[in-house]
Structures are given as structure tokens and as C-alpha cells.
Amino acid sequence: MTDLPFPDTVRVDADDKVRGRPIYAADDTRPGVLLHAALAVSTIAKGNVTDIDTKAARAVPGVRLVLTHEMMGITKSAGFIMGGGYGFQSLQPMLSPAIAYRGQPIALVAADTLEAAIEAAHLVKASYAEEPFSVTLNAPGVEVVNQADTPLKNFIPEIAAGDADKAFAEAPVKLDAVFNCPPQHQNPIELIATVAEWHGDNLTIREGTQNAEAVRHGVATALGIAPDQVQVISPFVGGGFGQKNSLQMQTVLAAVAARETVRPVKLVVPRAGVFHDASFRPTSRHHIRLGADRSGRMVAAIHEVEAQTSRHDLFPGEYTATSSRLYGFANFRGVERLVRTDVQTPGYMRAPFEHPACFAMESCVDELAYALSQDPVALRLANDTETDAATGLPFSSRHVAECLRRGAELFGWAKRSMAPQSMRGGDGSEIGWGVAVGAYPGLATPAIAHLKVTDDGDVEISIGGHEMGQGIRTALANAVSRKLGVRPEKVRAVIGDTRGAPQHLTAGSWGTASAVPVAEDATDAMLKALGELSPAGIAGRTPADILKAAGRRSVDVEVQRKAPGQPDAIFGRLRAGLPSVGGPVYGSFVTFSYIAHFVEVAIEPNTRRIRVPRVVSVADCGRVMSPRTATSQVRGGVVWGIGAALREASEVDPHYGGFLNADLAEYMLPVNADIGSIEVEFIDKPDTVFNSAGVKGLGEVAMTGVAPAIANAVFHATGRRLRDLPIRIEHLL
């Protein structure tokens, strides 16, 4: 084993990417072979289809099939991923005439051309029996469920430490505030796209997904065929962010259409459809009560959350799992409530719970700093902890204080004046400096890795993982090449492909912490195997040289690894495509990643436009595996946080249901001109208690804490405490 630093490799897929070589599902054209599909969707928010007339649609030249709920045969739901199944929701559209939400598919058209499919989909005429519906948290008719009273309590523990109500009642300094976060839709550039193709009884699905194994098992369940009749191929994903983390509702429809037409069928959901055919970040309301003594020690926190779910599924809330870990709260009580509304089931959108939870708690901590006239950085440092109050266990590593100190130094925080409205820019802008920390659980999954080297110098690792742009191929190449002494470009990673190693869902920022340690184990096993081939030793020799000298064409090894404390049975779940993630509590320790963000905002004097000229972010993600992709991840997370703070909201239509701004023109996102300087640093201290590679996870923690840092900076600039996201010009007029 070598002890080289991790190389700052250029992304191993960079050349292919800029040349447009990766082929995504939607890139499959094959004129004359492939049929194109389009969906007709419900124009009501709730009720039943009473009649569906497909005559005009079927008459469009080139139309081969118009599929409705009357023609789905024995197809069934593959179940909800958080309820023991495989789909983003339990409701598979088109299995019955029932309509649960606006935009739900009611028919699929397959045609020779996309134009014919779209035209025919518009000609599908449905009659409905409408029912009343509720789409906002406060609407009459919603149903509020205490998560602790549902089966979810068996795998999502309520967070409680000490006696938070008593400690809050007795605290000399009290804050009590409500924060609101809107629904949002992640909009990966790659639309949700499926190509379904049968070869006899075997089905191939090409689709950008974060969870090829769940798509495989889910489609098999839905169609009543064996999982080994299905293969799912997803070598590159054009952005996922949680939207592509389970079986999509269109995949089964495309597979049925392909079976009925005996042709490969391509279904690309258009942008407006993505807002209704896939999961999204549910709206959430956060009631925070924070108590402190006069010195600023936080003695109590109560975090009550109400988050949206659908009528048909309970999408579990895990907000307080993170807010409770920000500081050493000796007394903490978390409450998660789910509000059933008439929407598709919400899901995991980047830092799904952690971004809203950190927004609420870290905004409130800033309010506490002002209530006590204490510097917001000093207050945070004074409340740091090495022990997790919720479990009494130590953190495997926690460098929040270093993130805050280093960030303050890089940002020049010492020059900040405490009073709101006390700093001005040259053009009269109100300048505000804000800080907040973010946290994200350190999670890991089991993984199986198959490593092969050949005498012509090729190295191939087949492993669970999906490349959705975050750079997992580069992290794997770095890990394997560093130990084997080959160039990173020589390492080929077979990922996102059910023909190789079992594919676990890649999400939750666990990709690197799950794949890299097992890749390193496989490399160690390979070095041992090569050593046995070479009695003279392997030092200074390449695998290819060793193989040639031994007269061998290739050597294979296979190893497996699980998260700390997981039972061996977890590999059965992995192979069955079921979520198998462990953490953040691991028997004897608790693991979280952390980040501190320092933000400057400038409020323009006349327009009140909020600009963010400067951000400094310092992250504690354990060891940095790939400095280049890690830095890029943090920049992306900060941009996402700026969007969440100042732009993004899916506008709910209370009169007709569904989401109104269902396109990239009206769903507001930051653009390049909205982004200033983003300076990124890492603490880069390996967490070898968590895993041998010392990696904790980075993708999502990067976004946490950005929104409160901005809101806190807006308060510093203007004296206005804004507790609802997004913060827009009209809130500052």
C-alpha cells in the first residue's frame, strides 16, 4: 500500500463529456426502429376518469398505440420506496380510473414520430367526476399525522434529549419563531427519459437513474416477471439531485407500451411534466423554540415540523435529526408531523431535510446572538460539542469550530460591525455579513466490488454507484490508481449498470463513503493476488508487468463491505434493490459532515435587489478524495443555496391543483450573473473511525446553511428578520 496524497486528477470523463460522447437515454434515435411516446395527463386535481375517448388520437397517422388504464392487464404498483417497494410513490398511474393529483398520466401514446405522439396525446378526451382537494398546508381537508404514531417510527427515531419543555420554560432568554420553506422542484438538465426494449421475454431499460437496481426490481414487480429478466443501464445521469432515486412512474408505462407494440419505446417527460410526474421537495413549516442562559449557552431547543406528504404515502420527515446535531443541546425535543395533501408523493431533493432544518435553526441562532448582543461566530463556537446529546455517543469527527475559525479568517469577519444597517457599499447599498453552519448525516451503504486487471494494462472496477455529474468515476479512479500505481485514466468504472455489481441507490451524499472504501479493499486484495503471482515482489512494477512475467492474461478479485454495525443480511437487501443505508448513528459513534458559510449581501438602494457578491465556505467532509470535484461540489451547493434563499419556489395552484410555474422560464433560478466569488476550503481531516478511507460525504452538506447565512446577512444589512423563503425584492420594499 502506498501513502501518496490523493491526486488532483482532471475528471476522468472530462474529455468524453466535452466531446458529447456519453449517450443518455434520450439520445437514442434509431429512426424507423424506435417508437416515441407522449403522455396525456389529468386536468383535474382529484376524482375519477368516467370516460376516456381515444378515437381521435388513434386516427393520427403514425400512431401505433394509445394505452389507457383499461388496457394495463395484470400490471401492478411496485410500491413506495420508503414503504418496502421501489417507486417514488405507491400510486402507479393508469392502473385505475382514480385521479390523485393534477398532472397524473391518464394515457400514453406511442407513435412513429414524436410529433404524432404529442398531437395524439392532446386529442385524448377524458371526462371526469371531480372531488374536492387540498394542496396547501392550511387548506381545509388536509390530514395531519404525527409521524411517531405511524409505522415510520420503527426506522426513524424521534429525537429527544433531556427535558426540553422544562428547560425552555426556565431559560432566561427565549426565542420563539416560525419559519416557512416552499415546495421546490429539482430540474436536472437531463429530463426523465426511458427507452424500454424487449428481446423476447427479457427487458432492457435505458434511463438516467440514481438507483438502477430499484428500477430493475420495481419494473419486474410491476410487470410480474423475474428480476433477472430485466436489466437497467444508466452509465451517466444528467443530474439527479434526488429526483431520479427510485422507479419513475413512466418507466412501467414505457415497458408496457414496448411489450404491446413489440418495438422499443422512448418516453421523454417534458419539462412541465417533470413538475407533476416526479417527486419534489415538500413545503415545510418549522416552529422553533430556543432557550439560552444569559452567557449564551443554549439550554433548550424544541423543533416542531409540519411537512407535506401525499394522500397515498407517508414521505418520512427527518428534519430534527439534523437540527438537533448542530450544537450541544442538552435538552432537545423534535416533532415531525406529516400533512396529507392531494399531490404526487414528495421526495428527496438535495439536502431534503437538512437545508430547511438548518435554515430554521440557524436563523433562530442568529436571532439569539442579537438578543444577547453576542458575535454570531463566538456564540456558535461557545455552543460547540464533541458529544451527541441525542444519543450520548461521541461524534466520530466534528470540526465545526475549525470551519468557523478558518472561514472567519478567510472572510475577514473581524472587520464586521455588529449593528444592523451599519455597513454601506460605495453605491449606497446596504451591506450585510451573515454566517451559518450546516450539517448532514454521514451515511453509508453496503457495496460489492469486482476488480479486474489485464496484461495490456487495463483496470476495470465494477461497483455500486451512479455518475450523475458529481465525479464518482474520478474518485474511484483516484482511489484505485493511487494504490495500484497506474494512471487514473486507465481505471474504467462500470457503474449504474445492473449487468455488473449490485447497484445501490446513490444519494444522501453516501456515494464516495460507500464506494471508495470497498474500492480500496478490492485494490488491497488485488495487490495481494499480484504478490502471490510474483515471488520476487511487486514494488515498483505495474500490474501489467507482473501479469506478463507470470504468463497470466488477467486477475480478478471480488470483495464486499458494509457500513459499520450492519448485519450480513444487508447484502440480501442490496441485491434486492432495497434501501440498505446505515447511519448516522453507528452503535458506538455518530457521524455528520459540517460546513460553515460566510456571506456578504448587498441590497441595492433603489431597487432593493439582493446581490450576493461574496461567499466563503469551509467544509469538514473527512478526507477530500478528489480536490477538484469536491471544490466543484461545494460551489454547486452554494449556488443551490443562493437559489433556495432568494429564488426558488414551485407556485401551487390552490384553485385547480398542481404547480403553475412548471418550466425553466418561470421557475426562478440563479444565473451566472447572480453569482459572485465563492471561495472554498476544506479541513481535510480523515475520519478513520467512520471508514478506512476517512471519507464522510460532501455533496449535500455543501448546500446546508447557505440560506440562513444569506437571511442572516439580509438582517444585518436591513434590520429585517425574514423567516419565509425565498426572500425576494418585495419583502424588502
What secondary structure does DSSP assign to 119-161, as a single string? HHHHH-EEEEEE-----STTSTT-EEEEGGGSGGGGTSPPPEE
Site membership for ligand MOS, residue 208 (CB under 6 A): no
Cα torsion for 627, 628, 631, 633, to the nearest 10°? -110
Given 85, 87, 218, 240, the residue binding ligand MOS (CB under 6 A): 240
Question: Shortest approach of ligand MOS to residue 506 CB, angstroms?
Answer: 7
- In terms of phi and psi (left: phi > 0; alpha: psi -120 to 50; beta: otherwise), the region of 693 is alpha
Q: Which residues pair with 561 in a beta bridge?
A: 447
CB-nearer residue toward ligand MOS: 508 or 726: 508
Question: Shortest approach of ligand MOS to residue 577 CB, angstroms?
Answer: 16
Burial of 684 (0-12, 13-18, 19+ CB in 10 A): middle
Applying the rule CB under 6 A, the residues between 373 and 432 that interact with ligand MOS are: none
The answer to whether the beta carbons of residues 45 and 134 sit under 8 Å apart is no
Residue 10's Cα: distance from chain center in Å? 24
Given 85, 188, 235, 352, the residue binding ligand MOS (CB under 6 A): 352
The candidate with the shortest Cα–Cα distance to 510, out of 672, 723, 648, 691, is 691
Question: Shortest approach of ligand MOS to residue 651 CB, angstroms?
Answer: 22
Catalytic residue (choose from 306, 362, 520, 700): 700
Applying the rule CB under 6 A, the residues between 444 and 463 that interact with ligand MOS are: none
Residue 700 known to be catalytic: yes
Site membership for ligand MOS, residue 465 (CB under 6 A): no
Among the listed ranges 93-101, 343-351, 582-590, 723-731, the one in contact with ligand MOS (CB under 6 A) is 343-351
Question: Shortest approach of ligand MOS to residue 449 CB, angstroms?
Answer: 21
Helices (DSSP H) in 178-234: which residue ranges?
Answer: 212-223
Question: Shortest approach of ligand MOS to residue 696 CB, angstroms?
Answer: 15
Rg (CA), the chain: 26
Site membership for ligand MOS, residue 348 (CB under 6 A): yes
Question: Shortest approach of ligand MOS to residue 698 CB, angstroms?
Answer: 12
Widest CA span in the chain: 80
Residue 572's Cα: distance from chain center in Å? 24
Find the distance separating the first CA and the last CA of the chain, reported in whole Å.
Answer: 62
Question: Shortest approach of ligand MOS to residue 658 CB, angstroms?
Answer: 22
Pairing of strands 592-603, 610-620: antiparallel
Given 349, 403, 493, 515, the residue binding ligand MOS (CB under 6 A): 349
Given 42, 104, 204, 245, the residue binding ligand MOS (CB under 6 A): 245
Among the listed ranges 57-65, 239-247, 406-414, 560-568, the one in contact with ligand MOS (CB under 6 A) is 239-247
CB-nearer residue toward ligand MOS: 156 or 602: 156
CB-nearer residue toward ligand MOS: 107 or 507: 507
CB-nearer residue toward ligand MOS: 245 or 718: 245
The answer to whether the beta carbons of residues 716 and 433 sit under 8 Å apart is yes
Site membership for ligand MOS, residue 667 (CB under 6 A): no
Residues 6+ apart with CB under 8 A from 229: 201, 202, 203, 220
Given 77, 90, 210, 617, the residue binding ligand MOS (CB under 6 A): 210
Length reported for the chain: 733
Among the listed ranges 40-48, 238-246, 284-292, 565-573, the one in contact with ligand MOS (CB under 6 A) is 238-246
Among the listed ranges 228-236, 346-354, 404-412, 560-568, the one in contact with ligand MOS (CB under 6 A) is 346-354
CA atoms within 13 A on the CB side of 49: 27
Question: Shortest approach of ligand MOS to residue 240 CB, angstroms?
Answer: 6
CB-nearer residue toward ligand MOS: 481 or 591: 591
Given 242, 291, 296, 438, the residue binding ligand MOS (CB under 6 A): 242
Q: Which residues pair with 51 in a beta bridge?
A: 127
What secondary structure does DSSP assign to 291-309, as a single string? EE-TT--EEEEEEEEEEEE
Question: Shortest approach of ligand MOS to residue 524 CB, angstroms?
Answer: 29
H/E run at residue 493: strand 491-494
The answer to whether the beta carbons of residues 450 and 558 sit under 8 Å apart is yes
The answer to whether the beta carbons of residues 505 and 209 sit under 8 Å apart is no
Applying the rule CB under 6 A, the residues between 288 and 317 that interact with ligand MOS are: none
> To which residue does cell 376524482 refer?
47
Site membership for ligand MOS, residue 350 (CB under 6 A): yes
CB-nearer residue toward ligand MOS: 221 or 246: 246
Q: List the grid coordinates of 331.
A: 435538552
CB-nearer residue toward ligand MOS: 37 or 81: 81
Applying the rule CB under 6 A, the residues between 472 and 511 that interact with ligand MOS are: 507-508
CB-nearer residue toward ligand MOS: 352 or 658: 352
H/E run at residue 499: none
Applying the rule CB under 6 A, the residues between 510 and 569 that interact with ligand MOS are: none
How many residues interact with ligand MOS (rule CB under 6 A)?
A: 11
CB-nearer residue toward ligand MOS: 407 or 465: 465
Report the C-alpha gap between 413 and 549 in whole angstroms. Answer: 61
Among the listed ranges 235-243, 395-403, 632-640, 662-670, the one in contact with ligand MOS (CB under 6 A) is 235-243
Task: Identify residue 407 by its one-letter amino acid code.
Answer: G
- What's the per-residue H, E or C state across 618-637? EEECECCCCHHHHHHHHHHH
- Distances in whole angstroms, Cα of residue 486 to Cα of each of 332, 406, 472: 51, 35, 18
CB-nearer residue toward ligand MOS: 190 or 342: 190
Question: Shortest approach of ligand MOS to residue 300 CB, angstroms?
Answer: 30
CB-nearer residue toward ligand MOS: 348 or 594: 348
> To which residue does cell 439560552 refer?
292
- Distances in whole angstroms, Cα of residue 628 to Cα of each of 7, 280, 472, 494: 9, 29, 12, 22
Among the listed ranges 62-70, 107-115, 236-244, 305-313, the one in contact with ligand MOS (CB under 6 A) is 236-244
Give the residue nearest to ligand MOS (CB): 242
The candidate with the shortest Cα–Cα distance to 11, out of 517, 454, 474, is 474
Among the listed ranges 93-101, 348-356, 385-393, 718-726, the one in contact with ligand MOS (CB under 6 A) is 348-356
Question: Shortest approach of ligand MOS to residue 699 CB, angstroms?
Answer: 7
Positions in the binding site for ligand MOS (CB under 6 A): 210, 240-242, 245, 348-350, 352, 507-508
Catalytic residues: 700
